[in-house]
């Protein structure tokens, strides 16, 4: 004979579909989270597909850096030539003529720009 509960009724068996759904709930949630993070790792802004874009940006920035480094070296050279302790007379003459906009009558001015 089956045991009765406190109300005197026979305990019911859970429906097989409900029992199956309850057992499958935790793995389903785990799989959904796993799929979400997997898709984010591939398609997200820092994912595998964005790697090509990052490499292209890196190449572009390295090119910009090389250009700026050349400009910095040129400016450093000009600063060295204008050092007050031992200034290069040609550089000083060039800057003075450029700033004061003066030239001798027999000189030919060639604009660089």
Q: Give pLDDT tens digits for 39-75.
A: 999 888 888 888 889 999 999 999 999 999 999 999 9
Q: What is the pLDDT at residue 9? A: 62
Q: What is the mean pLDDT of the chain?
A: 84
- Residue 113 burial (10 A CB sphere; 0-12, 13-18, 19+): exposed
| C-alpha R_g of the chain | 40
Confidence of residue 1 (pLDDT cuts 50, 70, 90): low
The pLDDT of residue 4 is above 80:
no
Q: State percent of the chain over pLDDT 70.
A: 85
Structure token pair of residue 56: 């292209």
Judge contact between 103 and 109, C-beta under 8 A: yes
Q: What tens digit of pLDDT does each residue of 78-105 get?
A: 888 888 888 888 878 877 877 787 777 7
Mean pLDDT for 21-47 is 92
- The residues near 50 (Cβ < 8 Å, ≥ 6 apart) are 44
Is the pTM higher than 0.75? The answer reads no
């Amino acid at each position: 004979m089956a045991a009765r509960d406190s109300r005197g009724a026979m305990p019911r068996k859970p429906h097989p579909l409900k029992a199956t759904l309850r057992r499958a709930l935790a793995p389903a949630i785990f799989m959904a989270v796993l799929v979400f993070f997997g898709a984010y790792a591939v398609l997200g802004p820092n994912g595998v597909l964005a790697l090509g874009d990052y490499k292209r940006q890196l190449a572009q920035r390295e090119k910009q850096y090389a250009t700026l480094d050349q400009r910095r070296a040129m400016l450093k050279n000009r600063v060295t030539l204008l050092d007050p302790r031992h200034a290069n007379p040609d550089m000083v003459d060039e800057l003075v003529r450029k700033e004061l906009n003066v030239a001798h009558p027999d000189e030919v001015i060639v604009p660089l720009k």
